[in-house]
């Protein structure tokens, strides 16, 4: 996959009448799977609508793969597949006809469109139901049909707006697996808009958090996960033994901070591994009652972003204002 | 992407041109439309007058056959011939069929897409709102053309071929009147049907609205005519406007006291209002303010 930015925003503002929904968004993303997070009304769907050309920016520009969404709308939409949030189907036609119609409208010749419609429906697991009219589909099946129509023309970028909305747990798992599998092919990049952190955490490698129409956080989850491997939480016995081990850890370059109860938070320096902590404990004959990676979850990132003030002009992959990741003192 | 390995594949083949994509919506719509027996029966029946008229034209121009029925020179000359009045009658007969078919099919064109939220699916493709409206417009325009100006033009050329001589060149005005008048009627019917369909979500409501919009302004126009002692109230009557335009183009005197400009202005007004209503209604999403 090329490293060309998928989405570039330059002071993008969007209004509904007098109300400013997106406020001076600036930044770019190039991840394989980009999560668009935010509470209801944060502007996630508005941003997707703007990128699809449904809404004209009041000011600023938005580009997809270098194409301006305002001036090159049809070209942009050839490259994009869109799964809308709400119920969206054409009455009275079968699943395969809907998907074939959408493929033809994206520019595929009729024969190829029909062939790919069958394949896309098999791919999402609706192969057996493809000749049934869409009105007879369950909610989960309608979501899958929307997914199939979004991928049938082989887009380079897929916009998924709340794809797991209203799904029961097995259907949700199926949808998440589908998204993961399509991301894994490396042939399409995905923008997943959701207010469900778990969905984004399971599928995405890059996250943008929106709040009140502004980007308040942008981070690379892969990077976060790698960093978090160096954060440990250990539980030590009371008394001098524990203090001795902490001193020894500090001596080899660790940063330590007291946690709750007898727990201590430890940041390992470069070159020091977890087994070295075990060795130090063994040398001092200190029993480690508990040792865990203290992962900074997406929820932590999200919540801290919600607490922090809106930040603009975020550089790609860099948190605009690094929120506190572990307790102060480390 | 083949079915057996179920792998996602980017499409790297040729893409069709935007122009050819305009016919995709009509193609898919025709399949649904002709699955209705009522519609198919009415559509087939609408060719009846053309078949009867072509037989009459053939008989009228077949002197040897008429002589076998005992008609002689002067009697044959007195028989009605295919002139402007005949074509105006045929045109209105076909337009009534067109109106009935529009009445049946028009409401189903846009409203189901709005009710079921299908517009984001269309408009997230390389399809603009104009192309979407044009595609839906073509559904009706093609169907109505097949029963209006196309069979009427066929009758014109049949008459021209059987009459021979200079009939074709002497009556070219009829051809222009047939084609222009019918196309205008088809365009107004189609675009008004789309606008009504975009606002009335239920088919029954759309039909009631169409009937109301046809009858109520006409009645109001007549009241205006009586009250103000004028005939400009006829501009509110779409059928009268259409008759004025068609009869003038065909060179036939008509009962509607409305000049060509008045009739044209009325029809253009209906078309523009319909387009404005469509422009207001057809959005990829509804803005909740």
- What percentage of chain A carries pLDDT values higher than 90? 52
Q: Cβ of B126 and A93 within 8 Å?
A: no
In a domain, B7, yes or no: no
What is residue A52's predicted lDDT score, i.e. its pLDDT?
94
Assess A185–B contact: CB distance below 8 Å, yes or no. Answer: yes
Range of the domain at B230: 19-63+71-281
Q: Mean pLDDT, consecutive 10-residue segments, chain B of 289 residues?
A: 61 89 94 92 96 94 83 77 92 94 90 91 94 96 96 96 89 95 95 92 83 82 83 84 92 84 93 94 72
> A268 is written with which tokens?
């390992």
Residues of B in Cβ contact (< 8 Å) with A105: 21, 24, 122, 125-127
pLDDT in tens, A204-257: 999 999 999 999 888 888 777 666 667 888 888 877 678 888 899 999 988 888
Instruction: Say which DSSP state A133 is in.
Output: B
Q: Which of A90, A120, A174 to mutate to test the interface with B (most CBs of B within 10 A)?
A: A90
Assess B113–A contact: CB distance below 8 Å, yes or no. Answer: yes
- How far is the alpha carbon of A36 from chain B, nearest alpha carbon, in Å? 19
Tell me the residues of chain A between 59 and 118 that have a Cβ less than 8 Å away from chain B: 73-75, 77-78, 80-82, 84, 86-93, 97, 101-102, 104-109, 112, 116, 118
pLDDT in tens, A108-129: 999 999 999 999 999 999 999 9
In a domain, B143, yes or no: yes
In a domain, B2, yes or no: no
CA proximity to B222, closest of B208, B239, B241, B235: B235
Q: Cβ of B121 and A88 within 8 Å?
A: yes
Q: Return d(Cα A102, Cα A86) in angstroms, integer.
A: 17
pLDDT in tens, A53-96: 999 999 999 999 999 999 999 999 999 999 999 889 998 899 99
Residue of A16, A53, A185 with shortest CB distance to B287: A16
CA proximity to A160, closest of A2, A24, A33, A309: A33
What is residue A1's predicted lDDT score, i.e. its pLDDT?
46
Structurally, chain B folds into a number of domains equal to 1
Q: Which residues make Cβ contacts (< 8 Å) with residue A153, sequence separation at least 6?
A: A78, A81, A102, A103, A106, A107, A108, A113, A116, B11, B125
In a domain, B135, yes or no: yes
> B116 is written with which tokens?
């079921």
In a domain, B6, yes or no: no
Q: If residue B187 lies in a helix (H) or strand (E), which one and from where to where?
A: helix B172-199
- How far is the alpha carbon of A165 from chain B, nearest alpha carbon, in Å? 16
Q: Cβ of A52 and B113 within 8 Å?
A: no
What's CA A26's distance to the chain center, in Å? Answer: 18
Assess B80–A contact: CB distance below 8 Å, yes or no. Answer: no
CA proximity to B242, closest of B229, B232, B256: B256
Tell me the residues of chain A between 211 and 250 that have a Cβ less than 8 Å away from chain B: none
Tell me the residues of chain A between 112 and 151 that have a Cβ less than 8 Å away from chain B: 112, 116, 118-120, 122-123, 127, 146, 149, 151
Q: Cβ of A188 and B8 within 8 Å?
A: yes
Place of tokens 């949030």: A85
Q: Which of B5, B17, B121, B287 to mutate to test the interface with A (most CBs of A within 10 A)?
A: B121
Q: Which residue has the higher pLDDT, A293 or A213?
A: A213
What is residue B196's predicted lDDT score, i.e. its pLDDT?
93
Instruction: List b or e across A65-85, with b for residues whose CB sees 16 or more CB atoms inside 10 angstroms.
Output: bebbbbebbeebbbbbbbbbb
Q: Are B198 and B107 in contact (CB under 8 A)?
A: no
In a domain, B186, yes or no: yes
Domains for chain A: give ranges and CATH numbers.
7-212 (3.40.50.300), 226-293 (3.30.70.100)
């Amino acid at each position: 996959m090329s490293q060309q930015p998928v989405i570039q925003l330059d002071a993008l503002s969007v209004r509904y009448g007098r109300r400013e929904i997106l406020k001076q968004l600036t930044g770019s993303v190039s991840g394989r799977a980009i999560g668009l997070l935010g509470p209801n009304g944060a502007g996630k769907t508005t941003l997707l609508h703007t990128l699809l050309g449904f809404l004209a920016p009041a000011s600023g520009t938005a580009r997809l793969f270098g194409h301006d969404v305002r001036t090159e709308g049809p070209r942009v939409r050839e490259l994009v597949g869109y799964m809308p949030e709400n119920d969206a189907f054409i009455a009275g036609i079968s699943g395969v006809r809907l998907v074939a119609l959408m493929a033809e409208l994206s520019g595929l010749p009729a024969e190829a469109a029909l062939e790919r419609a069958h394949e896309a429906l098999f791919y999402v697991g609706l192969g057996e139901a493809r000749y049934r009219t869409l009105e007879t589909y369950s909610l989960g099946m309608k979501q899958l049909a929307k997914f199939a129509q979004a991928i049938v023309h082989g887009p380079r970028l897929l916009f998924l707006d709340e794809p797991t909305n209203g799904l029961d747990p097995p259907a949700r798992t199926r949808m998440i697996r589908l998204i993961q599998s399509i991301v894994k092919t490396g042939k399409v990049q995905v923008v997943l808009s959701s207010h469900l952190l778990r969905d984004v955490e399971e599928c995405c490698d890059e996250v943008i958090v929106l709040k009140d129409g502004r980007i308040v956080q942008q981070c690379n989850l892969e990077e976060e996960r790698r960093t978090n491997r160096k954060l440990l939480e250990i539980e030590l016995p009371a008394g001098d033994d524990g203090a001795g081990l902490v001193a020894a850890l500090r001596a080899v370059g660790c940063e330590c901070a007291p946690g709750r109860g007898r727990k201590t938070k430890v940041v390992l320096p470069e070159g020091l591994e977890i087994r070295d902590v075990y060795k130090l404990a063994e040398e001092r004959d200190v029993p480690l009652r508990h040792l865990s990676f203290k992962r900074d979850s997406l929820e932590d990132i999200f919540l801290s972003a919600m607490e922090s003030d809106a930040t603009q002009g975020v550089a790609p992959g860099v948190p605009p204002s690094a929120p506190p990741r572990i307790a102060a003192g480390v | 992407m083949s079915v057996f390995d179920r792998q996602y594949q980017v499409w790297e083949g040729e893409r069709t041109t935007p122009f050819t994509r305009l016919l995709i919506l009509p193609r898919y719509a025709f399949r649904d439309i002709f699955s209705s027996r009522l519609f198919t029966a009415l559509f087939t029946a609408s060719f009846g007058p053309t078949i009867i008229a072509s037989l009459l034209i053939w008989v009228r121009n077949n002197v040897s056959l008429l002589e076998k029925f005992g008609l002689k020179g002067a009697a044959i000359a007195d028989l009605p011939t295919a002139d402007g009045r005949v074509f105006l009658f045929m045109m209105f007969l076909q337009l009534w069929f067109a109106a009935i078919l529009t009445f049946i099919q028009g409401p189903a064109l846009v409203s189901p897409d709005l009710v079921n939220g299908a517009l984001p699916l269309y408009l997230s493709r390389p399809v603009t709102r104009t192309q979407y409206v044009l595609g839906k417009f073509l559904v009706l325009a093609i169907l109505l053309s097949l029963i209006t100006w196309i069979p009427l033009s066929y009758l014109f050329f049949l008459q021209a071929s059987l009459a021979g001589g200079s009939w074709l060149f002497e009556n070219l005005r009829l051809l222009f009147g047939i084609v222009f008048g019918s196309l205008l009627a088809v365009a107004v019917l189609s675009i008004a049907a789309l606008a009504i369909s975009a606002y009335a979500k239920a088919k029954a409501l759309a039909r009631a609205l169409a009937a109301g919009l046809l009858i109520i302004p006409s009645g109001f126009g007549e009241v205006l005519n009586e009250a103000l002692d004028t005939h400009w109230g006829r501009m509110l009557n779409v059928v009268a406007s259409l008759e004025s335009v068609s009869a003038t183009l065909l060179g036939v005197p008509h009962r509607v006291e409305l000049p060509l400009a008045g009739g044209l202005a009325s029809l253009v007004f209906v078309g523009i209002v319909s387009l404005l209503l469509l422009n207001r209604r057809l959005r990829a999403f509804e803005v909740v303010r």
